[in-house]
Structure 1
Amino acid sequence: MLRGSTTYLTRFDKAHIETVRGWLNDPAVNEWLLSSQLPYSSEQEAAFFDLTEREWSQGTAYRFEIHVAEDDRLVGITGLDDVILLHRRAEVGIFVGSLAHQNRGYGRDALVTLLRFGFDNLGLHSIAIRANTENERAVHLYRSIGFTETGRERECAFMRGRFHDHVCFDMLASEFHERYGLSG
């Protein structure tokens, strides 16, 4: 378990497959997900949970559930994907699936907690994140956390009937520690 200020992160629990699948299939939640807006079946979501376990044991991905610290509510998913320990880099993904818990700072706290895990526990040097250029909330959040815009991927995602650009960000371990300090 990884503890933040208002959230804590735990490994995936198969008991939550249907909750997560419900979020992924909700157009109000999946509108900006880079993975897609296609419906997920129970079998697909169960396979993703199994894949997560395999990738964790291989050291190539570390995905977590986001829980609210004060009452243990599951509110979202975050994780490090494409972990390459040779190059000490990874890419982060996140979504707060519970609409009632969006815009309350839980995503910010979970991201900072995950970044600390990546930099301090895994020894990563660089962590990247991407967002649809039209997803103003995500772009604002990533900048405010301290990510630096590094470029754009032009027309790289087909969503809602047209191609969209992604804005790319990253953060270096030194930048994280300058802003958030070393782990205690």
Structure 2
Amino acid sequence: MTTLKGEHIYLRALEPEDLEFVHAVENDETIWEISNTQTPFSRFLIKQYIENAHKDIYEVKQLRLVISSYKDQALGMIDIYDFDFKNSRAGIGVLLKDTGNRGKGYGTEALKLLLSYCFAHLGLHQLYCSISEDNEKSIKLFEKQGFKKVGLKRDWNYVDGAYKNEYLFQLINK
């Protein structure tokens, strides 16, 4: 069974050639709210991160994959974070870089591939994600894949001078 290759996209490991793409994503202030970033990242730090991306998920507790078209265009990234082997769970996040790539099914396909990978290869029992209550597209994306809203974190993130609520979603593999 191939879990990382879909019909229109595939998920792949970070490559040295991804330096400029990852640097642009990590330093895009319009998405800092999603990643809880406060300061820019240097090319040097991103280069070091990519050089160490080969480390095992069991060691570093995270895995970042590039969402790539079959024309080898990096469309976004999908992450597994807070990997908890003992409790068989992890958090996940999806980001498509350019708004022109949104609404074409790439996020849905990437999420389906990642779910398959997490359950088939990592043997996870559950996945979770946190989504700002005003991010309707992400809420719809995760709910479409079976994630259930299990909690509300009130005034969780301070963004542009105001506090925002954040939902916690969970998917349990039965």
Equivalent runs, 1:28-177 vs 2, <5 Å: 28=30, 30=31, 32-36=33-37, 38-50=39-51, 52-54=53-55, 56=57, 58=59, 60-69=61-70, 71-174=71-174
SS in 2 for 1:53: coil
- Closer, same or farther in 2 for the Cα pair 1:134/1:61, shift >3 Å? same
- For structure 1, the residue ranges without an aligned partner over 5 or more in a row are 175-184
Residues matched between the structures, number: 172
**Contact map agreement 1:156 1:163 (CA 8 A) in 2:** yes
- Asked if the contact 1:25–1:37 (Cα under 8 Å) also holds between the matched residues in 2, the reply is no
Q: CA deviation at 1:32?
A: 4.6
Deviations 1:29-52 (A, max 9, x none): x16523326433213323433454
Is 1:20 equivalent to 2:22 in the alignment? yes
Cα distance in 2 for partners of 1:59, 1:24 equals 19
> 2: CA distance between counterparts of 1:25 and 1:169?
27
Which one-letter code corresponds to 2:80 in the other structure? Answer: L
Q: Distance in 2 between matches of 1:14 and 1:48?
A: 10
CA pair 27-103 structure 1, distance change in 2 beyond 3 A: farther
Task: Tell me how large the CA RMSD over aligned residues is.
Answer: 2.0
Task: State the shift of 1:117 in Å.
Answer: 0.4
- Amino acid of the structure 2 residue aligned with 1:41: S
Change (3 A) 1:43 1:59: closer
Q: Specify the SS of the correspondent of 1:3.
A: coil
Structure 1 stretches of 4+ with a deviation exceeding 4 A read none
> Could you list the per-position Cα deviations for residues 71-113 of structure 1 after superposition, in whole angstroms to 9, with x for gaps in the alignment?
2211001021111111110000110013321111101100110
Distance 1:103 1:31 in 2: 21
Q: Which runs of 5+ in 2 are unaligned?
A: none
Greater helix share, 1 or 2?
1
Counterpart CA distance in 2 for 1:53 and 1:162 is 38
After superposition, the Cα gap between the structure-2 partners of 1:154 and 1:48, relative to the gap in structure 1 and judged at 3 Å, is farther
TM-score (norm 1): 0.83
Helix, strand or coil at the partner of 2:34: coil
Higher mean C-alpha deviation, range 130-139 or range 40-49: 40-49
| TM-score in terms of structure 2 length | 0.88
